[in-house]
Amino acid sequence: MMKAFAGAAALLVLAGCGPAEAPAATAGAEPADACPTGSPLPVTGLCSNGDASLFLASDVSLQTAAPRCVWRTEEVSLSPAEALVFRAQDCSGEGWDKAIYTYVSGYLKTRLSSMAEDQSGFALEIIPLAASETAEQAAMRTLDKAPEDQRARCITSPLTGHTVAGRTFGLGPDADSRPS
C-alpha cells in the first residue's frame, strides 16, 4: 500500500491514493455503464464525476465557485500503479479555463489550460513516509535542511475545523519561539 503524506491545499479536497495492489488493467474491465455521468480515470478506474461517496471525508456542503461549476474527481499519477485522487471544481461550464494538475519531483503542481506548463504553481508537497513513520514525524524530518538550533524549536500541533481524511496538524514554532 502506498504511504504518502500530503499537505492540504485550499483548492483541493484531498482524498487519498490509489492502491498499489489494484492493477490499472482492472479499470478497463468495468462495464461501460460504470461511469454514467463521467469517464473512468486511467490509473484508478474511478469515475471522474466527483461523487463525494468515493472519499473518506468530504464536506458536501461546500459551494461551487459559480453556478455552472461542478465537482470532478481528479487523479494525478505518482507511478504506474499509484495516484493521488482528489475532488476539484471544474468551471469550464462558466467559460473558465480548466485546471491541469501534474506531479513533478514530489510536488503537485497546478495551472490553467491556457497557461504554458512552465507557468505551473506548486499546490502541495508530497512527502513519502518511511516504514512505521507517522505524518508528524515525516513533517519534522523535512526540517533536516534547517539550521540545527532552529529545528528543536519546531513542534507539530493538531488542527481542528478541517474536513479531511485522517488527522491534520500544523508545523510551527513552539510557544517559547513565537513572537509576542
**Each residue's pLDDT tens digit, 73-102:** 999 999 888 899 988 999 999 999 999 999
Residue type, 175: A
Domain shared by 97 and 149, yes or no:
no
Domain shared by 23 and 89, yes or no:
yes
Q: How many domains does the chain have?
A: 2
Buried residues in 85-124 as b, exposed as e (16+ CB within 10 A): bbbbbbbeeeebeebbbebeeeebbbbeeeeeeeebeebb
Domain with 121, as residue range(s), is 4-128
Domain shared by 94 and 135, yes or no:
no
Domain shared by 88 and 8, yes or no:
yes
pTM > 0.75 = no
**Each residue's pLDDT tens digit, 111-160:** 999 999 999 998 888 888 888 988 888 888 888 888 888 888 888 888 87
Domain shared by 67 and 115, yes or no:
yes
